[in-house]
Structure 1
Amino acid sequence: MSMSKTTNTYNRQNWEDSEFPILCQTCLGDNPYVRMIKEKYGKECKICSRPFTIFRWCPGARMRFKKTEVCQTCARLKNVCQTCLLDLEYGLPIQVRDAALKIADQIPQSDVNKEYYIQNVDNEMANTDGTQAAGTVGKSLAPSEILSKLARTAPYYKRNRPHICSFWVKGECKRGEECPYRHDKPNEPDDPLSEQNIKDRYYGRNDPVAEKILKRAATLPSLETPEDKTITTLYVGNLHEDIIEPEVRDNFYQYGEIRTITLVPKQQCAFVQYTKRSSAEQAAEKTFGKLVMNGRKITIKWAHSQAKQNTIGKTDRRYELPAIPPPGTVIPKRTNPNDFFNLANEVTLMPPGMKMSQIPPNLIPQSTYQMYTQPTFSAPYAGGSLNMPSTSAEAVSYPSQDPARMGTSKK
């Protein structure tokens, strides 16, 4: 049985040697003092089959050890991480990025043509600083709205969790909490996410993760513009508690003249009001689902109109009259006239501009209604006669209500 040998089997000059890997923040981990094991020419690249320097490290506590899978030339050719093969700028699969940017990078599939193509790429990158993408991807990288909406704004460390313990799945794991593997239910055999191929991910074809993200992109919500043309204010949510007004202004002044910026630190939001409606529409279109401030993806919405807020304020219960009872309804009297809680139920608040004479008699409390409907008598005084309500034994009498106190007398 003969084995096929390529030129890389004998040409050690094409083998790759590096001092530090090309990694994304998720694969590198949250530990700033991570220690790596470096092995020179320790493995072949899974794409070009060239021996390269591999790195192995642990991204954090209770995480699995990770290592580089492809060489740096193949990683820079697609601008991806050497471990997870996700785009370094957006953190998305290659298939999603190429579909959004409309990139068709045809890398040779045969061994000899692939080696020749890789050698030419190495010669092109020899004159660069090594931080830029090469090939068609490097020439096509540009800001994309759809990629900005789908991209993650923070590292997804959950991807570094240990693998599932096969003994626990069988019910035979006896380590318990000391087991370094994860005790979770595995994916179903029919789940497409359980069948992932590193070459399909690199070449951007038949990637189940990419297909899932593309389906989610088709159902992304959109910001509807309100019909009221007087609305020029945007609601800016999910802000940091310590954010200041200049930071908000720096992200919104480029779309037009700003009238006011109102910060609400307790609610972690702000209101940006523009002088023109066209400026507010442009700001909403450019920032919706794409604006990131202090590592947070900002929520953009249209604020409510001032007329609608005034309508809501006028529907307060203080301005609502109680329902009119049907005719013949007997209103019970208070048992304790000095009870504070019963007294509060008899207070009738009138809307502004309404007079007591305009209120129907059945809506006026009984004690108040009797005061205005009691029979009167004429009390003489220097200028004529004074009509005053008569007092009875049952009514509460105060010194100020006594007619004799003012010098009048009955004849």
Structure 2
Amino acid sequence: MPPKADINKAGWEQSEFPILCETCLGDNPFIRMSKQEYGRSCGTCARPFTVFRWNPGAGMRFKTTVVCQTCAKVKNVCQTCLLDLEYGLPTQVRDMALGVVNDAPTSDINREYYAQNMEAKLQSGGGAGIKGAGPTRTQSAGKEMLKQLARTDPYYKRNRPNICSFFVKGECTRGDECPFRHEMPASDQKQNIQKSIQDRYHGRDDAVAQRIMTTHAESQGLKPPDDPTITSLFLPLVPATSTEDSIRASVVKSLSSVDPSEIKSIVHVPQSKCAFVNFKQRSVAEAAAYAWSHGLDVDGEQITVRWGRGRKKPAEAAAAAA
């Protein structure tokens, strides 16, 4: 007679092998893993799950799974690095490029309940997780952008040991026996650059994603202007049939993660076939520039986006007139 199920473990997750990307798995084909059932709580849904720990290669640091398999399947990410399994990019970059909406709760309330519902849908073969929010043309352009940014080969350098904090302070006495790296961090490698698990998973203020999107936007001619007061984006050559309402609908649909109230105004100039999208905050304008670096779909046409120009100060305007 089978043993009775423990009611206290209802909803907890058991698994036989982790969901990992090739980089985190390592280059050793004979890898050995330790397995601990209910070893820790999931970093996103807080449910206990089966934890795996392994060494991805000689001279590398030990790695472990940090989220459960249900959460990994919902977002299609690695259980360890939380990067997308198809493109190897942060979820914030992927979701912004494809215009998808994440309906998973980001607060502690209902996280476990949501995860259990998603697990039931996955087991029954139903769809779960993020939902598309952009038209087909926009998603196709976003996929092309992701293909350009994707890393095609494993990046095993990411598995290296962490930098020795004692060496940075000049106090490490272990020398070659120290299991950590003895090198000075780069100027942009700060302790706070590694965000929490939930921020990486849900794509909120991810520093790595921010750098990727900034670099791509600059390569497309969308480098943020030095003037912080510029909060408008210029849409040249909009379709002749476009109206202010249709442009607003396209903007709101493409910025699914942005509150529509952040849009200050949309100015349509039919005679010049152009439009200006003005935002209330510079940060929102920059997020829109990142999302539209591959173009904005307006009434069936892909529109190239550019930053607007700042207004000249009265003194500068008087000097130019003179």
Give TM-score, length-normalised by structure 2: 0.60
Equivalent position to 1:136, from 130, 136, 151: 130
Identify which of 89, 98, 102 aligns with 1:105: 102
Q: Is the 2:46–2:111 Cα contact (8 Å) retained in structure 1? A: no
What is the Cα deviation at residue 16 of structure 1? 0.3
Residue in 1 aligned with 2:72?
75
**2:3 corresponding residue in structure 1:** none
- Give the whole-Å Cα distance in 1 for the aligned partners of 2:38 and 2:207: 32
| Correspondence 1:262-273 to 2 at 5 A | none
Say if 2:121 is the partner of 1:124.
yes
Report how far residue 192 of structure 1 moved. 8.3
Alpha-carbon distance change, 23 to 100 in structure 1, aligned in 2, over 3 angstroms: same
2:212 paired with 1:213: yes
Instruction: Report the secondary structure of 1:135's partner residue.
Output: coil
Paired position in structure 2 for 1:182: 181
Deviation per CA, 1:318-339, whole angstroms, max 9, x where unpaired?
xxxxxxxxxxxxxxxxxxxxxx
Cα 1:16–1:150 change in 2 (3 A) is: same
Give the match for residue 23 of structure 1: 20
Within-5 A mapping of 1:143-222: 144-188=143-187, 191=190, 194-220=193-219
Name the amino acid aligned to 2:28: N
Query: Gaps (5+ residues) in structure 1?
Result: 1-8, 223-411
- Is it true that 1:66 corresponds to 2:60 in the alignment? no
CA contact (8 A) 1:44 1:51 kept: yes
Q: CA deviation at 1:87?
A: 0.2
Deviations 1:158-189 (A, max 9, x none): 11010111221222222222221101113558
Task: Measure how far apart 1:11 and its partner are.
Answer: 3.6
CA distance in 1, matches of 2:168, 2:82: 29
Alignment map for 1:31-42 (pairs within 5 Å) = 31-42=28-39
The verdict on how the C-alpha distance between 1:151 and 1:109 changes in structure 2, with shifts beyond 3 A counting, is: closer
Using CA pairs under 8 Å that are at least 6 residues apart, name the structure with larger relative contact order, 1 or 2.
2
Q: Distance in 1 between matches of 2:177 and 2:96?
A: 44
1:262 aligned partner: none
Change over 3 Å in CA distance of 1:118–1:138 after alignment to 2: farther
Q: Which amino acid aligns with 1:134?
A: A
**Partner SS, residue 18 of structure 2:** coil
1:226-260 superposed Cα distances (whole Å, 9 cap, x missing partner): xxxxxxxxxxxxxxxxxxxxxxxxxxxxxxxxxxx
The one-letter amino acid of 1:153's match is T
Preserved CA contact (<8 Å) 1:193 1:209: no
Which letter maps to 2:130?
A: T
Q: State the AA in 2 paired with 1:167.
A: F
Structure 1 consecutive aligned stretches of length 4 or more whose deviation exceeds 4 Å: 137-143, 187-193
RMSD: 2.7
Letter in 2 for 1:199: Q
C-alpha change, 1:133 and 1:84, in structure 2 (3 Å) is farther
Question: Structure 1 residue 93: deviation in Å?
Answer: 0.2
Q: 1:63, 1:162 within 8 Å by CA — same for their partners in 2?
A: yes
Superposed CA deviations along residues 39-83 of structure 1, whole A, max 9, x for unmatched, are 011100011110000000000011000000000011111110000
